[in-house]
Structure 1
């Protein structure tokens, strides 16, 4: 199963409207990006960790889904450590590399902040069905149906692109073209996939137009998207975690606003 495939489960989070999950993640991120300190990120990460068990993901699925975040965070921290702000005691200075107290603190804050923002976003996205999300965006947030349905169609095609890539690779190897020259093979397959994607996109657009998806009349929806108390609770939880984290940072004097 692809990591892009939404997870199915019996936890309550699966029945929450996807736009509430999106709003909660955005609110949480909004509180965390206004400051760059390790206290707010650490507090947010601890509070989020208490809720990850309620997401319905087992340990293997959780780390498989969030693998990119666990890789990106240390790499970003390493870059900040080597080339970050110069402040306090200097431990190493070599050409462009400058490790000091300021770069160490900033590196720790960067790693924690990426984890605090990225992990809940990935976990919440893993429990979202694209069709439910499209229903919510159109019915709850009242976004234009053409945009919503076009985005839904494109998202549904991602898994097909992955299958097409595998089929192209097998076909080229069957013809003896995939044994050598990895760079040339990748470029050839990428161009072939681009041509195939353009053809499929054109056919899909024509089919959708023929079925009235591009009409100017108000649309009806097969399923009603409900935004109730559970959704408001999730949004409140996201906002509360962000507010508590920022408040803890201000209370301890560690806050470092990005602007100002």
Structure 2
């Protein structure tokens, strides 16, 4: 959890771009990949994204630490589709609920590449986003309601406390001698205690924010200006270019598979 909020200064070119532009670029890349399942478009997007990863401001160790769930989830998704997906073409295994065919294998590989192409840029770009900068961008650039933005920022800032609370609860229960047996019962008890603690802290935080005028009517002022200029538009252009090139490559190769089209 603390890795999610590790917002030390970044030196990469992409790291200094407005968070709104980063989210917009990730959205532009993901949209065409959501509406198709084919190997060419996903693989093309993944290769183009890999060329930009060195500019994100993440070290290789940090990159692997943050993205290992994606690298684990993508092959598992592919295995599931390969075993239980709709069979077509040459059938290799057909027994009980397991159906492996050339069509299901192609679909599994395409799905794996699509998961990587959609998830990796999102994780990398989010890792370089400071929550306060994101809130400034959402409020000043996208003009979202200040109450919603500030409430989300406060909640995101509290996420880092969950791990500390969990450790404190575990030590307290061990000190009382109630954490030696029954792992499942211990987990459920600690989860409920953490839920109660979170509700109490959230209530106190909401009261404190109201007392400081965060919920007051009228236009809110911002301590820091959120700038959206040439670098941000270039970032959006890169996202659109990756999406366009991926779609064009799939269409040219004849593999474009619009999943919302007629059966």
TM bucket, shorter chain: over 0.9
Residue 165 (1) aligns with residue 158 (2): no
Matched residue, 1:205: 206
Name the SS of the counterpart of 1:215 in structure 2. coil
2:10–2:16: 8 Å Cα contact kept in structure 1?
Answer: no
Instruction: Tell me how far apart the structure 1 counterparts of residues 206 and 63 of structure 2 sit (CA, whole Å).
Output: 35
Point out where structure 2 has 5 or more consecutive residues left out of the alignment: none
In structure 2, what is the Cα distance between the partners aligned to 1:229 and 1:131?
21
TM-score, with normalisation over the residues of structure 2?
0.97
Number of the residue aligned with 1:53: 54
Give 1:3's aligned residue.
3
Where do 1:1-260 residues align within 5 Å? 2-4=2-4, 5-260=6-261
Listed as ranges, the gaps of 5+ residues in structure 1 are none
**Residue 8 of structure 1, CA deviation:** 2.7
Q: How far apart, CA to CA, are the structure 2 residues paired with 1:51 and 1:97?
A: 39
C-alpha distance in 1, partners of 2:236/2:27?
A: 9
Q: How many residues align?
A: 260
Give the Å deviation of 1:6.
2.9
TM-score (norm 1): 0.98
2:249 alignment partner, SS class: helix
**Aligned with 1:201: secondary structure?**
helix
| Cα distance in 2 for residues equivalent to 1:7 and 1:119 | 20
Report the Cα distance in structure 2 between the residues aligned to 1:227 and 1:256, rounded to whole angstroms: 36
Which aligned segments of 4 or more residues in structure 1 are displaced greater than 3 angstroms?
Answer: none
What's the offset of the Cα at 1:7? 4.8
- Contact 1:7-1:126 within 8 A present in 2 as well: no
SS of residue matched to 1:92: strand
Contact kept in structure 2, 1:146 and 1:214, CA below 8 Å: yes
- The alignment's C-alpha RMSD in Å is 1.0
